[in-house]
Structure 1
Amino acid sequence: MKRNASIAHVRWDLALRYRLIETVVWWEGRLTTHHLMQSFGISRQQASKDINTYIDLHAPNNLRYDRHLKGYVPTEKFAPLFIDDSASAYLHLLNQNHERAPHIEGLALAYAHTEVLQVPDRSVRPETLRPLLRACRNGLRLESEYVSLANPEPEVRLIAPHTLVYTGMRWHVRGYCEKNRDYRDFVLSRFRGLPDVLDESLNKREADPGWTTEVEVIFRPDPRLSEAQKAIIETDFGMRDGQLAVASRGALVQYVLQRFQIDPKIIQVKPEAQQLVVANLDSLKSWLYA
């Protein structure tokens, strides 16, 4: 993604609109004021002004108005400034607008051609999240009741949380556990009662080896597949030279494998079901749960 001095000083609300402009015009091939009006609840005049400002101040060669399509289309010189040109930017937009569709007039119709599988909303109360955020931001210790599958009854824990992590299915907080004298993951929906923020902790994020250690998880097609099948998997996952290297922190390796639907303890009987293997599993074993 290209950056310049003028972009660095764009107001965040305008930057969000410019991102929408680039995402829609690049992936749908046609942008109108309705896209901005429906997504941001602004007037047609304001939407038109935002598009013209984007063109005049930032990207004079990116868009042109097509009278037949009655909208803006990308030029051959289109070069995104506020997004990358990966499909994930557009797919995230579809996801966000799908979630907002029931609440914003026009979005339900505009995105009726998409369907998004929703992850169950875990029970996390604001009374729980607020002190956790405060402790993470300020490096403080926190006292709270917590339950786990090993200890279903609420148990008082003293922790020093440092980072909130979303795994794709649930949120947890990474932090130092004084009971175990180690850095652990705590699922947000398993906190009980009202956490109390205490004094400063000496166990900072920088001292967490699971967080500071950077690793790569290397995926390859299941070697039992035929060469033609391997080629399909390589394309599906955007592999280069027959493999996909995913950057991770040591503490997050387990979640990376879960996102790719891989259980290192189980090998599927059919390679078509397995599809992927972890090429460097031996070097990652210290980061996997027992």
Structure 2
Amino acid sequence: MRFLAKESLTERLLFIELIAWWEGSVSNKHLVRQFEISRQQAYQDIKKYQASYPDNLERNNNGFTPTSVFTPHFISLDVNQYLEWFSHGDLTPVRREHRQISILSLPPRNVAATVMRALVQGIREKKRIEVDYVSLSNPENDGRIFHPHTFVNSGLRWHVRGYCEKSRDYRDLVLSRFRGEAEVLDESQNGFEDDMPWQTELTLILQPDPRLSADKQAVLANDYQMENGQLIIHTRAALANYMLRELQVNTKMLDGTPEAQQLVLVNLDDVKPWLFGG
């Protein structure tokens, strides 16, 4: 869905900030594509933003870039806001809680805008990037050359998927674990087309834990709209682990309490080769 010219000026000013901060520059073209407005209207919107917040953006050959003293007035600096737009092309409205509705808000993870700009450029232009990365198994800065191809939301956090030259394989790297500056290099020869787990479609067959009573199994069957007592999910093999984790399906061992386990994976032998550590 694209926004039309009738959308509020506030949304367009938010969009100016969003693109400038996370992509490194914003131009009239961004506004024209997103809101289907004229170039003259886009020019007026940026001019309005500059007049209201003169210290935030400066002009260069690519459009308008954030200054060193950039201060957000419309965006949250939570990378989720940008990635929701990047994924769907829609601006995510600010969540407002109603007194009869409460929405769980997970704590934001710190993601450097400079790294995001390099990753976005790498994905769009199919280029390699050089960047430092840390993990729980290796908390020291570890330089890597990475070929990003897709951002992945695993439920609790965002990853970027691509080819890692150090691992010599495709990997998911957690966005909040990149460190320092990222440098965009030359063209990548390892795109998503060669990512076998990404290209492989996998079927997950789940059913209620058979240790549950028939009545309890019927509750779960209704919850998940199962057919013939089974839930069929089609997913990329690379995402199977995340899907099972979100459904709280333990493939290593059964929980001692069936009410805690709830669902079991029927076709484990088919799925296991694609699971982490499988």
TM-score, normalised relative to structure 1: 0.64
Post-superposition shift, 1:263?
2.2
C-alpha spacing 1:278/1:178, structure 2 compared with 1 (3 Å) = same
Number of equivalenced pairs: 196
Name the residue aligned to 1:282: 269
Q: Which runs of 5+ in 1 are unaligned?
A: 1-10, 18-35, 41-95, 102-107
Matched, 1:252 2:239: yes
Greater helix proportion: 1
Name the residue aligned to 2:171: 184
CA distances 1:9-64 after superposition (whole Å, capped 9, x unpaired): xx7225999xxxxxxxxxxxxxxxxxx9xx99xxxxxxxxxxxxxxxxxxxxxxxx
Post-superposition shift, 1:171?
0.3
Matched, 1:214 2:201: yes
Amino-acid identity (%)? 46
Name the residue aligned to 1:160: 147
Name the residue aligned to 1:82: none
Indicate the SS of the match to 1:223: coil
Aligned CA-pair RMSD: 2.3
Aligned with residue 256 of structure 2, among 269, 272, 277: 269
CA distance, structure 2, for counterparts of residue 180 and residue 124 of structure 1: 23
CA distance, structure 2, for counterparts of residue 251 and residue 219 of structure 1: 18
CA distance, structure 2, for counterparts of residue 241 and residue 137 of structure 1: 43
CA distance, structure 2, for counterparts of residue 186 and residue 217 of structure 1: 24
CA distance, structure 1, for counterparts of residue 272 and residue 99 of structure 2: 44
Paired residues for 1:1-290 under 5 Å:
12-13=2-3, 99-101=94-96, 108=97, 111-290=98-277
Post-superposition shift, 1:159?
0.8
Does structure 1 retain, via aligned residues, the 8 Å contact 2:250–2:261? no
C-alpha spacing 1:15/1:240, structure 2 compared with 1 (3 Å) = farther
C-alpha spacing 1:132/1:236, structure 2 compared with 1 (3 Å) = same
Deviation >4 Å, runs of 4+: 14-17
Post-superposition shift, 1:226?
1.6
CA distance, structure 1, for counterparts of residue 119 and residue 230 of structure 2: 38
Moved more, 156-165 or 115-124: 115-124
CA distances 1:197-250 after superposition (whole Å, capped 9, x unpaired): 100011010000010001111110011112111111001112111111111111
Code of the residue aligned with 1:13 in structure 2: it is F
Name the residue aligned to 2:69: none
Post-superposition shift, 1:168?
1.1
Code of the residue aligned with 2:3 in structure 1: it is D
CA distance, structure 1, for counterparts of residue 106 and residue 226 of structure 2: 27
Indicate the SS of the match to 2:135: coil
Code of the residue aligned with 1:197 in structure 2: it is V
Post-superposition shift, 1:144?
0.1
CA distance, structure 1, for counterparts of residue 251 and residue 272 of structure 2: 9
TM-score, normalised relative to structure 2: 0.66
Does structure 1 retain, via aligned residues, the 8 Å contact 2:131–2:145? yes
CA distance, structure 2, for counterparts of residue 265 and residue 16 of structure 1: 53
Indicate the SS of the match to 2:163: strand
C-alpha spacing 1:15/1:182, structure 2 compared with 1 (3 Å) = farther
C-alpha spacing 1:245/1:127, structure 2 compared with 1 (3 Å) = same
| Larger gyration radius, structure 1 or structure 2 | 1
Does structure 1 retain, via aligned residues, the 8 Å contact 2:238–2:274? yes
Code of the residue aligned with 1:121 in structure 2: it is P
Post-superposition shift, 1:166?
0.5
Code of the residue aligned with 1:100 in structure 2: it is R
